Structure 1
């Protein structure tokens, strides 16, 4: 019996040691701009599985966005952290981040197409299971995945974490296929109450399938432990809102994926 238990323990340790999240950089192009995203997957999982696109905050594709993609791979998904700026653009300076963000968002169609390029890289991995694909985004990334939903991108669902809340346009009425989950901080002063009200009304008018969870006392950036380091009063980590929003995302994926 002792030998049997020892053998079983050795087998468990061996499997655990072999199970590891893998990552690789993926270069792709937006015109003349070189974009570099990062693909994450658990090599202990055999066969295809659902895929999740991750869109970064306005700082660029930094370690935080990559960390979330890694966490998704740990949950069993294939995750792709997309690059929305290109040419290695990452900063911790708000003015620079705002400039880069505005350059992207000034052209809504181009903004959506840029996000779709990231989705193409996820699907091209060869590990994604059919059309079982979703997208999540943080701050600027949250607005980005909403724009993807408004364009009826081939996604089962989108999840916005403390994102900007662009209203659904008139032309999106009856055409929003992805289910929408918004995870919002009640104390986020970047998003005025009237903006939230208009956002919700426009989703209703568009006939979208949506849900919005609001976390009392949570400010902008509530999922990022380093939020306060950027020197902006409205940026603050909230451990409870972070944990609850991540759990809600997981249950949402359970609902939408076949």
Structure 2
């Protein structure tokens, strides 16, 4: 449905990503951020789904062509830890946001796992954003303090998550509320990665569809 495009980062360098356009010409935008596996077909499929829901959706390729097989957690961790999160967010992700906003459209940001953490960093550091939806990812506080978040956020977390643990989520929620930031937070009796239908070991269709419905309604409310 979509296509690979190139777009400019704020520093003038080129980045690439997967773009899926909505049927209508004046659609709002959603930038979709990958898991630590890279720009997998599942992430491209999320862009296609956003397009069908009425949004122009763009997933920037933060690993520059590297896609890690789902079984290789060691390689995925190596790719993620070698990523400059601040550069990726303030340059590649912001460039994607600016691309979708070029005709005056409102733009939201969403991401999964690693991409959830990037979404929160973007919520603090990308001025062109209107709203964000986080899926089971929280960055270290030195990357993005709750008090620095500039946009309303919705967040989806898993109660059986051993990476983004319930305790971590509770602490982040408390800090967001203490900072007076608008946050809708949902918890699901599921595993980390529950929205990824390509990973049958963790996918939870009921939780995934519930979260998807909430996310798209949230974006429609804030982006138009």
The reply on whether 1:144 has 2:118 as its aligned counterpart is yes
Displacement after TM superposition at 1:32 (Å)? 11
Q: How does 1:48-87 map to 2 (within 5 A)?
A: 48-86=26-64
Displacement after TM superposition at 1:56 (Å)? 0.8
The structure with the larger Rg is 1
SS in structure 2 of the partner of residue 200 of structure 1: helix
The reply on whether 1:243 has 2:223 as its aligned counterpart is no
Aligned CA distance change for structure 1 residues 149 and 42 (closer, same or farther; 3 Å) = closer
Q: Could you list the per-position Cα deviations for residues 126-147 of structure 1 after superposition, in whole angstroms to 9, with x for gaps in the alignment?
A: 5xxx241101111111111111
Runs of 4+ in 1 over 3 A off after TM superposition: 28-35, 167-175
Q: What is the distance in 1 between the residues matched to 2:188 and 2:5?
A: 35
SS in structure 2 of the partner of residue 42 of structure 1: coil
Aligned match of 1:185: 158
CA contact (8 A) 2:42 2:197 kept: no
Aligned match of 1:7: none
Aligned match of 1:159: 133
Counting matched residue pairs gives 220
Q: What is the distance in 1 between the residues matched to 2:130 and 2:87?
A: 22
Displacement after TM superposition at 1:82 (Å)? 1.3
SS in structure 2 of the partner of residue 227 of structure 1: coil
Q: How does 1:30-41 map to 2 (within 5 A)?
A: 35-41=15-21
- From 2, 26, 40, give the equivalent of 2:5: 26
Please, what TM-score do these two structures have when normalized by structure 2?
0.87
Displacement after TM superposition at 1:206 (Å)? 2.6
Q: Which segments of 5 or more consecutive residues in structure 1 lack a partner in the other structure?
A: 1-21, 229-234
SS in structure 1 of the partner of residue 150 of structure 2: coil
Q: What is the distance in 2 between the residues matched to 1:72 and 1:110?
A: 26
Aligned CA distance change for structure 1 residues 96 and 54 (closer, same or farther; 3 Å) = same
Aligned match of 1:96: 75
- With 205-214 and 110-119 compared, the bigger mean Cα shift is at 110-119
The reply on whether 1:194 has 2:167 as its aligned counterpart is yes
- With 109-118 and 243-252 compared, the bigger mean Cα shift is at 109-118
Displacement after TM superposition at 1:49 (Å)? 1.4
Aligned match of 2:197: 225
CA contact (8 A) 2:118 2:139 kept: no
Aligned CA distance change for structure 1 residues 122 and 56 (closer, same or farther; 3 Å) = same
Q: Which segments of 5 or more consecutive residues in structure 2 lack a partner in the other structure?
A: none
Please, what TM-score do these two structures have when normalized by structure 1?
0.77
